Amino acid sequence: MNAVDGSDHYNKTSDEPPPSLLTIILDTNAHAWALLAPTLPLSAAIANLLVFINAHLAFNNSNKVAIIASHTQRAEFLYPIPSEDDSRQANGSTHNGAQNGLDGDMNMTDGNEANYAATADDANHYRPFRHIQTTLLSAMSKLYKTTSPESLTPTTSIAGALTLALTYINKQSIAFSTTTSSKTNADPLLAPSDPNSIQPATLNPRILILSVSGDLAHQYIPIMNTIFACQRLTIPIDICKIAGDSVFLQQASDATHGTYIALTHPRGLLQYLMLGFLPDQSSRKYLVPPTAVGVDFRAACFCHRKVVDVGFVCSICLSIFCSPPEGAVCLTCGTYLQLGEYGGKPAVVAKRKKKRKKGADE
Amino acid sequence: MAPSRGSAAYKKKDGTLAVSKDGQSVSWTPVAPPRSEPALTLPVSNITNLQQTPATNSKVMLKIFAQASGTSTSETHTFTFTSPTTARAEADTIRDALSKTIQIIKSGGAPPAASGGAGGSSAAMAIASAVSSNPRAGADSRAWYDDEKLKKDVELQQSILKSNPSLSKTFMESLRTKPESISSSQFTAQFWSTRVHLLRAHAIEKNQTRGAYNVLSSIKPMTVDNATRLSISKEQIQLIFNQHSLVKRVYDENVPKLSEEAFWSRFFQSRLFKKLKGERITEADPTDNVLDKYLQYDDDAERAKQLMASHVPHIIDVEGNEQNHSQRKGNQPDLTMRPSSYDRVPIIRTLNSLSEKILSHVAPNDIDPSLPIGVDEETFNELALRDLQGDAAENRVILNIKDQSRFFNSDKGSGVSADALLYAKQDPVKVLRSILSDLARVSSNTNLDTAIGVDDDSDSDYDDESNLKKGHVGSKASLSGATAQMLSAVAQQRAQSDDLSASSSGFSTVQSSSTSGLSAAIFDRLSLTHATTTEFLQHFWSAFLSGDPNRADEIGKLFETLNRAMDRIKAVATDAEAERQKEIEKLKKQVQDLFERTGKRRRMDYESTPGGAKAVDQLLAPTVKAIEVATKQYKKALAQQSEENG
């Protein structure tokens, strides 16, 4: 029918690849970067990252980017930054905010519609690129300026940053699907919650974590929760491991079919970024990922947040313990567990056993 | 149904004889001291016989013959019913209750749970209960659930080994290499204890039997020596009788007159046979003066009549409407409202009725047996008077999740990593200052070209390699190092994901071999070694962690076995290496031959010949690591305890 009256012309979906949203989580742990400074100073890493972002934006006109700092005790947007006006509005009155913007959130200024008044123009620099560069750098310096020396901890709030990334991705997907498929009257809220019904023209989100610090065991549960959320939304988490060690990030990339690379030559960061992390979801279907082969599937116990080789799992709530909990009662749900023969620590048991044996010999 | 009871005298004392609520025992309680405990309790399963005085006799007595399990002598208990008016009725109810239970026990099934509704239960119900009390099913299903029974069933284990060659290989190999201190029976018990699920699956599989099938259509006459021959088995005759009650009737009425053989040969040529099979009867078919009488007999009508007789009167028969409402199932409206004649499409009718019959004998496996029969959940809910019901009790176990952060906060800082120690040495103020100054530098320099440090014109390819420490970010050396790492990761990933290359992406041209360049024989040995080693590791850990001091010796032996497993792995590696060397020799010889014939020297990279010890080591690396961990743990425990014992 459509062919007859020629209306299929209007229904034709574009053959262009869907735009992708790259959410970068930058681990800004000051201690770790200070340690890295002789090999890869933060400034060089940021420069490399900017080149990578520019490449990503140059791929497709409608590609988007967001950068989130996973700082020592908080997570913060580095780009796009919440604009001053809107944050004031949102703080002052939520009603005002609801009329403004999409759903009452703070309005994020993105490169495409932002006012460039603040940034000095440079004839040799593509404007959006330059905008990102200046925004990111000023946000970074502001972040470190507002950091007190006492607040520096050995860890970084990856879980918080991942949560921020997920909210941003969600917001952008909704905004995207309303602008492109407003005709179809589809409920935008349904789109991200059902991974099976992904339409061809949706935003292609992915998350890239530039990680420099380890010690994430005490964030095990929130990290795992965000990983599972990403898995369900089919958002790959890519890990660029510059330093530190963390088993969970490897699991994150494995569970979400992302790429995990532990850099052996941190100075070649740009090469890693361009070669391994530039392809988006749609092109990765045709590529063999350069991800590490073995995955460390160990978990952290819930009782001492240690990474365990052999653990004990509560059969009711699936909590993990490094040793059978005291009195065989699960610490999380309080269920009485039947431990069977595996009572006590192995070494102690073997020792007692040997004692008897020796006693018999003597 | 109230438990049967009656006042009866036992050994000249007045009392009450009662059958327990579950019908599993009968007890007699004396009247004399009120509320006394039953003086005599007999489990029904022990009762061998019941005797009662005839109805004409004025004295009502019940004699129970009981034989305790395991003894050969039987005791006799005589109860005299004393009620002046209802003695006979009481005795009858008790006798009936007892004999019913005894019968059920003898047939091997459990007593029907809902005997109370027996009066109103439908025909379907009767079938269902008959199926569930099938003695075979009852006895076997219990055997499947019993782990101990499965572990002890040697016959079953043999049969599973026979049906699963790889398991049998592992079993034989482990049995061969097991330490002497462990007896075969110990080993077998250990071996199967971790494979109960396999045993259970196999037991269930073995117990599945073929159900009833359409017999008549499966009987085909064969022509041998120009004579039509037909052979039918006893089971087939049995099935024919079951499926076609008409044949049974014909057989009953005619066989003494006809010989058995003659009956069947006539039957299979008769029109009746064709009719039962659902074929159209033609004029050409031979007639038979005996069997043709039964042609007019309508099997279906008979069956329907029988069903109806025990069934519901039409006026309240709700289901009747369902059957007479043809549109409901998408058929045409029934205009005539008369039974259509049989001759139209006999095959469909026959097959339908036959299928119905066969299915009625099969216990449905997709239906919860506790559900009411004939009423689905929805209908039942509709019929229920909801207003009269209280709130349904929550049938859930509530899971109380405590706040986990409590645990984390309590001992923060106990697990300090190596990174954290390094961080602790740094002065946070200095750290912040250095980073800020670093950032200031990049902010001032807006030119990314120079900031990333990549110099296209640089030809210092290998200069940087030597003094890597001084090398800058983005130097050629670091970039090529990064490229090399990525490409090797890609290659590894590719080698691991065979299925990926086989499926969607059409880019692969080379199938990476799954045996890592090892010959099939070596690879088989390798996988067998791996399987047995894993088996012994399992034994080791289960003994090591059992906490049973009696198994200390066993652990020691298993430890030696693990060491020997290590040797076996090495042996495989050596053999693989020898094989590889042979392969290299062959290649060298080829090159030499080529050189002698043509004078051309071909360059060969012998190092890249696949297989060998390296491949074996790579494949078994996790296993070796597992053995190392086990031995280390063992040695540690041993040293620790020797020390403690002085």
- Chain-centroid distance of CA B155 in Å reads 19
Kindly list the distances between the CA atom of residue B429 and the CA atoms of A73, A150, B426, in Å, as whole numbers in the listed order.
Answer: 16, 9, 9
B-chain CB neighbours of A332 within 8 Å are 401-402, 404
Please indicate if any CB of chain A lies within 8 Å of the CB of B646: no
Output the average pLDDT for chain A: 74
* Contact of B6 with B16, CB cutoff 8 Å: yes
Task: Say what the pLDDT of residue B341 is.
Answer: 60
pLDDT of residue A25: 93
- CB within 8 Å: A149 and B428: yes
Q: What pLDDT is stored for residue B504 in this prediction?
A: 40
Burial class (CB in 10 A: 0-12, 13-18, 19+), B311: middle
Peptide bond into A80 cis (omega under 30): yes
**Closest partner CB to B482 (pick from A44, A272, A335):** A272
Token pair in block for residue B328: 């409901």
> How far, in Å, are B164, B538, B557 from residue B191 at the CA level?
15, 9, 16
Question: According to the model, what pLDDT value does residue B367 have?
Answer: 61
Between vectors from CA A203 to CA A199 and to CA A204, what angle results, nearest 5°? 100
Reading the block at residue B560, the tokens are: 């030696």
CB pairs under 8 A between A and B: 261
Query: If you write DSSP's letter for every residue of B193-240 in order, what string do you get?
Result: HTTHHHHHHHHHHHH-------HHHH---EEETTEEE----HHHHHHH
pTM, two decimals, is: 0.55
- Higher-pLDDT residue of B49 and A259 is A259
The pLDDT tens digits of the residues spanning B549-574 come to 777 777 788 888 888 888 888 888 88
Q: Identify the residue among B641, B642, B643 best suited for mutation to test binding to A, counting A beta carbons within 10 A and taking the highest.
A: B641
Q: Which two tokens stand for residue B363?
A: 């216990």
> Which residue matches tokens 């208990």?
B77
B chain contacts of residue A261, beta-carbon cutoff 8 Å = 485-486, 489
Adjacency order of strands within the sheet including A260-262: A75-79, A64-70, A20-27, A204-211, A237-241, A260-262
Whether residue A87 is predicted with pLDDT greater than 50 in this model: the reply is: no
Put simply, the answer to whether A47 touches B452 (Cβ < 8 Å) is: yes
Both structure tokens of A170: 């969600």
- B9-17 CB contacts, 8 Å cutoff, 24+ apart: B9/B79, B9/B80, B9/B81, B9/B82, B10/B39, B10/B40, B10/B77, B10/B78, B10/B79, B10/B80, B14/B82, B15/B39, B17/B62, B17/B79, B17/B81, B17/B94
What residues of B are in contact with residue A150 (Cβ under 8 Å)? 428
Is B426 strand, coil or helix?
A: coil
Q: Which residue has the higher pLDDT, B118 or A107?
A: A107
Please choose, from the candidates B410, B416, B432, the residue with its C-alpha nearest in 3D space to the C-alpha of residue A214: B416
From B637's Cα to the closest Cα of chain A, the distance in A is 5
Q: Could B448 and A47 be called an inter-chain contact, meaning their C-beta atoms sit closer than 8 Å? A: yes
- Between helices A127-145 and B428-444, what is the axis angle to 10°? 160
Q: Under an 8 A CB cutoff, do B492 and A137 touch?
A: no
Could you tell me how many residues make up chain A? 362
Burial environment of residue A100 by CB neighbours within 10 A (0 to 12, 13 to 18, 19 or more): middle
Give the helix ranges, DSSP H, for A267-345: 269-272, 281-284
Residue B563: its pLDDT value, please? Answer: 86
Contact A333 B504 (CB under 8 A): no
Q: What's the average model confidence in pLDDT over A218-233?
A: 86
pLDDT tier at A24, thresholds 50, 70, 90: very high
Which strand (E) or helix (H) includes residue A78?
strand A75-79
- The confidence score (pLDDT) of residue A347 equals 43
Q: At residue A280, does pLDDT exceed 80?
A: yes
For B471-510, the DSSP string reads: PPTT-HHHHHHHHHHHHHHHHHHHHH-HHHHHTT-TT--S
Is pLDDT at A209 greater than 90 in this prediction?
yes
Q: Is B473's CB within 8 Å of A306's CB?
A: no
Mutate to test the interface with B, among A218, A353, A357 (most CBs of B within 10 A): A353
Q: In chain B, which stretches have pLDDT less than 50?
A: 1-2, 109-140, 409-415, 460-470, 499-513
Q: Does B385 touch chain A (CB under 8 A)?
A: no
Indicate yes or no: CB of B486 within 8 angstroms of CB of A37: no
Q: Which residues of B touch A359 (CB under 8 A)?
A: 645
Q: E strands within B323-381?
A: none
CB contact under 8 A, B431 and A352: no
- pLDDT of A311: 80
For B73, residues 6+ apart whose C-beta sits below 8 A from its C-beta are: B67
Q: At what angle do helices B299-310 and B245-254 cross, to 10 degrees?
A: 110
- pLDDT score of A23: 93
Give CA–CA dist B63/B49, Å, rounded: 8
Backbone angles phi, psi at A196, to 5 degrees: -75, -20
User: pLDDT, tens digit, for every residue of A163-187?
Assistant: 999 999 999 888 887 766 544 444 4
Q: In a mutagenesis test of the A interface, which of B429, B432, B472 is the best target, namely the one with the most A β-carbons within 10 Å?
A: B432
User: What's the gap in Å between the CA of A351 and the closest CA on chain B?
Assistant: 5
